[in-house]
Amino acid sequence: MSSTITKLNAPLTQAFDFQPSSETQLMPTPTRNTLAQRLVGFETLTDALEYAAQGITGYNFYDARGKLRSILPYSLLRNNARNLAKRLVGFGLERGSRVAIIADTSPEFVELFFACRYAGLVPFAMPVPVNLGSHGVYVQQLKGMLESSQASLAFANLDYINFLAEAAEKVTLLEWVGTPAQLNELPAQEVTLQPNQPDEVAYLQFTSGSTRMPRGVVITERALMCNLMGIVCNGLEITPDDRSASWLPFYHDMGLVGLVLAPMVTQISVDYLATRDFAIRPLQWLRLISRNRCTVAFSQPFGLKLCTMRVRESDLKELDLSCWRAAGIGAEMIRPDTLRNFAEKFASAGFNGNAFLPCYGLAESTLAVTFSKIGSGFHSIQIDSKALIDKRMAVRLQAEGRKSNEFVNCGRPLPGHIVKIVGEDGQPLEERMLGSVLVQGASVMSGYYNNPVETEKALKPDNWLDTGDIGYLYDGDLYITGRRTDVIIVNGRNIRAQDVEELAEQQPEVRSREASAFGVNDEDGSTTVVLVIECRLTSVTERHALIKRLQQLVYMAFGVNCIVELVPPHTLPRTSSGKLSRFAARQGYIQRTNLNDQLAVVESGDR
């Protein structure tokens, strides 16, 4: 047995306390601060950091084996960020210029992010490559973001700098590409750093998926501070005894806003595990919570599923999750069974089901829109499937034996925010009627950066944000029933149907507007991507080769397997304007393949 396995099987304390004797013992930042906790009254991120820096709490970074690799107390973060900011000033950029940073889970990313804010620049996080063989697609994805953001500077650490350099070729507006270490070698300018204003842009958030036309959500300091305040005061009711643990990527809104910025503005400590390390050994996250007595930790449902799948009986004995009071669940449709299975599995490790905290949100509204009530667990209702399909209405199941769907209560909007449900004509619907979910409030984005077309699609008059999700209100609480057909969510990853179709259309055999992509659900609730192509090839070998090539391309771009179906020309249904209807294409596919239990009702027509 390798030493790794021995370590993983060792009692918890041993697995965590393993330290080579030659290294000095690093201590995580404490939970209890020396500074009085302040939750409100910060106008900007740097305001909040100036305050947090007076205490002793901060960020802690753990490796795959659960060993503490580095710590970044808020005091050190402030000093390092200001120091780097004075070097950034040397580039002589206008205030508000964009700075791209490849965001792996590292102290360097956080330092650079805040350095940008101190220097009056607008940072944005770019993803790390996650898929086998994804080199080419990943570089294209980075290039798309660099171009769309009109970034002036771009940073990556040594692991990713080659990808970044490749992506930066021929991106004309980019002035400099380098590592944080290279920035540190530049001279610091003798300047006084100017305070930021609430109306200034705090950061851009790229929504996942789209490669060719990525959309950068613009979030101002005001929107950010408004959303953070709602999250920490109303959603989580943060106290000085709280501590967070997170594996969420820093390039996702939940990871960045929820688990990097929210802890800082409340001056609480966080323990980080890199996403990749969590994905391979999900229990390390639970061990961190158990060992450091963490109270607040968020995950997508998929993350909980991974934990449930991979845990062994021997692991359970070593865990004490009784400290975990806020198990936030969001970022994708929440299936009640995922939560039930997790609660059942980890009950013996002290996990309390009342800790479940379903919430709903999206990057276009900074992060959070609704929160269920803290400390009361998750609640769901059984809805009559027939009424949902025929009348588009949520009716509580009356008689046993009728077919039903169970939806999770996502709670109520944060103070100052309103959620409404509208029909296809844009008119508001009554409670319990199924329709598009719209949100209004100070957390809503200013728009997509330099993209008026997409902005106009998402932001309706009076600044109502069309979330792209489908749901209903029931006794004032929001229930999400599905996404519209333009996003497919597989294993927690958001994949834009359009991106899959564009990938197919780049093949010489596939004409434009002759590919349709959508998701179908298996009986266990997992989603598979289906790509239907109108195909003129007659040779069996050629058809087979095309299917294989498309599957490989989709895998390299999105990390998922897909079903490719070749159909004769004119099979795919079109709207009167000649546009393909994914909704109808999906219905057709389901009929052809006789898939049962497909809930057509949860998705309305194309956007």
Residues that bind another protein (CB under 8 A): 2-5, 8, 64, 128-135, 138, 159-160, 163, 276, 279-281, 306, 309, 491, 548-549, 551-552, 555-556, 559-561
Give CA 455 to chain center in angstroms. Answer: 20
Helix (H) or strand (E) holding 521: strand 515-521
Q: How far is the CB of 312 from another protein (least distance, A)?
A: 13
Query: What is the rounded radius of gyration, in angstroms, for the C-alpha atoms of the chain?
Result: 24
Q: Residue 528: what are its φ and ψ, rounded to 5°?
A: -120, 140
CA dihedral 204, 207, 210, 215 (to 10 degrees): -40
Sign of CA dihedral 105, 210, 124, 438: negative
- Rounded to a whole number of angstroms, the minimum distance from the CB of residue 24 to another protein is 22
Among 300, 292, 315, which Cα is nearest to 245's? Answer: 292
**Cβ nearer to another protein, comparing 103 with 478:** 103
Q: Which is nearer to another protein, 526 or 581 (CB)?
A: 526
Shortest distance in whole angstroms from residue 310 CB to another protein: 9
Q: Smallest distance, Å, CB 275 to another protein?
A: 9
Q: Which is nearer to another protein, 238 or 562 (CB)?
A: 562
Q: How far is the CB of 252 from another protein (least distance, A)?
A: 16
- Residue reference for tokens 């990390």: 559
Minimum separation from the CB atom of position 136 to another protein (A): 9
Strand order across the beta sheet in which 296-299 lies: 68-73, 58-62, 270-273, 244-246, 296-299, 326-329, 356-361, 368-371, 412-413
Between 9 and 352, CB nearer to another protein? 9
Q: How far apart are the first and last CA of the chain?
A: 54
Chain-centre distance of CA 354, in angstroms?
A: 24
CB of 159 to another protein, least distance (A): 5
Q: How far is the CB of 63 from another protein (least distance, A)?
A: 8
Is residue 411 helix, strand or coil? coil
DSSP code string of 165-198: HHHHTT-TT--EEE-HHHHHHSPPP--PPPPP-T
Q: Which is nearer to another protein, 130 or 188 (CB)?
A: 130
**78 versus 493: smaller Cβ distance to another protein:** 493
For another protein, the closer CB: 134 or 467:
134
Nearer to another protein, 3 or 577 (CB): 3
Give min distance, CB of 556 to another protein, in A. Answer: 7
Q: Which is nearer to another protein, 163 or 356 (CB)?
A: 163
Residue 95 phi/psi, 5-degree rounding, is: -60, 140
Q: Least distance to another protein from the beta carbon of 413, Å?
A: 34
Name the nearest CA neighbour of 161 among 188, 142, 134, 189: 142
Backbone phi and psi for residue 245, each to the nearest 5 degrees, phi listed first: -135, 140
By C-beta, is 64 or 213 nearer to another protein?
64
CB contact set of 193 (below 8 Å; sequence gap of 6+): 82, 85, 86, 89, 118, 119, 120
* DSSP β-bridge partners for residue 125: 101
